[in-house]
Amino acid sequence: MDIQTPDWVKHAVFYQIFPDRFAKRDRPPEAVQMTVSFEPWDSAPTMQGYKGGNLWGVIDRLDYLQDLGITAIYFTPIFQSASNHRYHTHDYYQVDPILGGNEALQELLAAAHQRGLKVVLDGVFNHASRGFLYFNDILENGPYSPWVDWFKIHKWPVSAYDGDQPANYDGWVDNRALPEFNHDHPDVREYIMRVGEYWLRQGIDGWRLDVPYEVETPGFWQEFRDRVKAINPDAYIVGEVWRDSRQWLDGTQFDGVMNYLFTGPTIAFTGGDRVKSDLVEGPDYYPYPPLNAKEYAAKIQDLIELYPWEIQLTQLNILDSHDTARLLSVVQGDKGSVELATLLLFTYPGAPSIYYGNEVGLPGALDPDSRRTFPKEKNWDQPTLAMHKQLIALRHQYTALRTGKYEVLVAEGLLYGFKRVLEGSEVFVFVNAGMDSATTTLEVGPSLLTAKFGQPTLQQSGQTLQVSLPPRSGCILAN
């Protein structure tokens, strides 16, 4: 079949924002909900505490994001909720008042679109929360509630809060705080479809779907795609699926997934034995055991062949997220590992995504530590920021790095190299993950290649170019 994916995603650089922790602008005094006390911005994050970040603060940072080279923002949930992460949705039609409400989102969308930035929201459609209006009606009215069939309730009375009693209804991962929708019910299905449509009409540019693999109702995601694309054919639909995602990436459902199949091997290759085991053994993405170049090449080649090329170009590629420890902490502060992994991220097919703060060296272990607040400028790691800006600029400069074919050139020891090829244009990328210098040669033709990133030693003899890389370094070569 002819697979269609949004063209803008193929050229995008995403920035993932956890809204409570990125930026905060003080609200006017008439905003009563903003007079409550929040945790100090610079204190360590807690599982349940709020820092008070809001969408007004994001608006204030759009110039920063644009200067960095970002072209799209993915927000973790922003709808009304009783949790700092907002995966416990209360109202799918209301932006959380702490974040500024619907008014703040409209102002953000206008400001972002004026700068050419896309905005993708998180859709938590597998489950709601105990505070969701219709589930709350069940708690009040029991089996007499008109919404009783919207959820999977097994016995009365419903025990939503008493941990000494069985929950007696289906909650996601057996969490009674997250009652699962009954997606087989036509009204539930229609409700979620309309939520998806509503926010597209309000101007968002796509949906990231939380745990969509839990929704097993036949045809559900096909219908979701059809209805979203009917409103905006260029809307991006990306699913949170951590493993082989072929059943959702057939062209009838999602445009891509959060590409953890890229994440794990890339960290295992660049981080090697620096990877801190207790930070990676829980999340389901396997950045261990260490991989040599040949093993990494095999995994990347398998991944390249797993999905249609049109889908490869709209995968959401990441090195970490709100669901994992941050890369800097995973590799125990080794900045060389971070640089090499970031180099591979920005030269791989698909849309690279930065988890907020990574570009300025923000560390973080597992949740809640991975959700620290964005640091003050005096605490930024400026070389890391400069490295990100350089790689983003090169990706924007060379179309081959965005849509060119991916061809492995060398995979020996801990030296890995490949080229991206597009209509005669070639960009070469080499990574030496080892502790010793490494050298390789390539046939380059009459054109002169120069280093656009990194500091390799280049020696050209005729059409043969010798590339020598210092330990723990990488480079990008192009005309």
What is the torsion angle, in degrees rounded to the nearest 10, for the CA atoms of residue 16, residue 22, residue 24 and residue 30?
A: 50
Q: Which helix (H) or strand (E) holds 458?
A: strand 457-461
Is 240 a known active-site residue?
Answer: yes
Residue 99: which residues within 8 A CB-CB, separation 6 or more? 19, 53, 54, 55, 78, 105
List, for residues 89-138, the tens digit of each pLDDT value.
999 999 999 999 999 999 999 999 999 999 999 999 999 999 999 999 99
Catalytic residue, from 180, 210, 323, 426: name it. 210
Residue reference for tokens 């990347």 = 300
Residue 424 is predicted with a pLDDT of 84
CA atoms of 239 and 248, how far apart (whole Å): 8
Low-confidence ranges of the chain (pLDDT < 70): 28-34, 446
Residue 110: which residues within 8 A CB-CB, separation 6 or more? 203
At 351, is the secondary structure helix, strand, or coil? strand
At 435, is the secondary structure helix, strand, or coil? coil
Both tokens of 220, joined, read 């559900």
Concatenated DSSP letters of 8-77? HHHT--EEEE-HHHH---PPPTT-GGGGS----TTSPP-SS------HHHHHHTHHHHHHHT--EEEESP
Whether 279 and 304 have beta carbons less than 8 Å apart is answered as: no
Is 210 a known active-site residue?
Answer: yes
Please choose, from the candidates 239, 228, 230, the residue with its C-alpha nearest in 3D space to the C-alpha of residue 204: 228
Residue 32 is predicted with a pLDDT of 58
Question: For the chain, where do the domains classified as CATH 2.60.40.1180 start and end?
Answer: 404-478
CA atoms of 423 and 439, how far apart (whole Å): 28
At 403, is the secondary structure helix, strand, or coil? helix
Q: Which amino acid type is present at position 397?
A: Q
pTM of the shown model? 0.97
> What is the number of alpha carbons within 13 Å of residue 120 lying toward its C-beta?
26
Whether 92 and 210 have beta carbons less than 8 Å apart is answered as: no
Residue 319 is predicted with a pLDDT of 98
CA atoms of 351 and 205, how far apart (whole Å): 15
Residue 7 is predicted with a pLDDT of 98
At 180, is the secondary structure helix, strand, or coil? strand
Residue 211 is predicted with a pLDDT of 98
Q: Which DSSP symbol is given to 173?
A: G
Whether 356 and 374 have beta carbons less than 8 Å apart is answered as: yes
What is the torsion angle, in degrees rounded to the nearest 10, for the CA atoms of residue 288, residue 431, residue 274 and residue 362?
A: -100
The strand order across the sheet containing 438-443 reads: 438-443, 464-469, 457-461
Whether 443 and 332 have beta carbons less than 8 Å apart is answered as: no
Burial label, 425 (beta-carbon count in 10 A; 0-12, 13-18, 19+): middle
Q: What is the 3-state secondary structure (H, E, C) of 58-93?
A: HHHCHHHHHHHCCCEEEECCCEEECCCCCCCEEEEE
Angle between helices 220-231 and 186-201 (to 10 degrees): 30
Residue 210 is predicted with a pLDDT of 98
404-478: which CATH number, 2.40.37.10, 2.60.40.1180, 2.60.40.10, 2.60.40.1120? 2.60.40.1180
Question: For the chain, where do the domains classified as CATH 3.20.20.80 start and end?
Answer: 7-401
Catalytic residue, from 20, 96, 122, 240: name it. 240
Q: Which DSSP symbol is given to 449?
A: P
Question: Any idea which architecture 7-401 has in CATH?
Answer: Alpha-Beta Barrel (3.20)
Question: Is the preceding omega at residue 157 within 30 degrees of 0, hence cis?
Answer: yes
Residue 166 is predicted with a pLDDT of 84
